[in-house]
Amino acid sequence: MSIFDTLASSFGETPSEGNTGASAPGGLIGAAVDFVNNQPGGLQGLIQRFHQEGAGEIVESWIGNGENKEIDPQTLHNVLGSGPVAALAEKAGMSSEQLTGLLSMVLPGVVNNATPNGELPADGKLDASHVMGSLGGLAGLFGK
């Protein structure tokens, strides 16, 4: 299995089956969407946590129309907290380090695509199938 196949399976996609980016939400993306949706306040609550942890400028770049700022895995771990990271890592079937590494690469694209024109979802909840559809699969997560 190639590294791309490994990454894709983490996102609930199967590139070896001719994936077109229209796969069912699952894997890491589904777990990430569930995590955001289960935050007090949904996406707004998560954004507030970024601000509280000194990473507000980073998350705000994901919401706006400009370039998405990168976030390093350790900063993301600090924002999310050790307990939630461990729980999400277990749900995704990987270590906490792997999870924060992957999330640091894909979360900017997920938030960006869930907030078109800088507008947050009214109820603060993300729709995994909408996020994956608007991203066009793995390439969209990485801005390709």
Q: Give the per-residue pLDDT at 114.
A: 84
Are the CB atoms for 29 and 46 separated by under 8 Å?
no
> What are the tens digits of pLDDT across the range 77-136?
999 999 989 988 887 788 999 989 988 988 888 888 888 888 888 888 887 776 766 655
Q: Give the per-residue pLDDT at 136.
A: 54
Q: Give the per-residue pLDDT at 27.
A: 60
Confidence of residue 139 (pLDDT cuts 50, 70, 90): very low
Residue of 80, 79, 85, 140 lying closest to 114 (CA atoms): 140
Q: CB within 8 A of 128, min separation 6: which ones?
A: 25, 29, 30, 33
Q: CB within 8 A of 35, min separation 6: which ones?
A: 80, 84, 88
> What are the tens digits of pLDDT across the range 2-34?
333 444 454 444 433 333 333 333 466 776 777
pTM of the model: 0.72
Domains and CATH numbers, the chain: 3-141 (1.10.10.690)
Q: Give the per-residue pLDDT at 97.
A: 95
Q: Give the per-residue pLDDT at 24.
A: 34
**Token duo for residue 121:** 């979802």
With 0-12 CB in 10 A as exposed, 13-18 as middle and 19+ as buried, what is 31?
Answer: buried
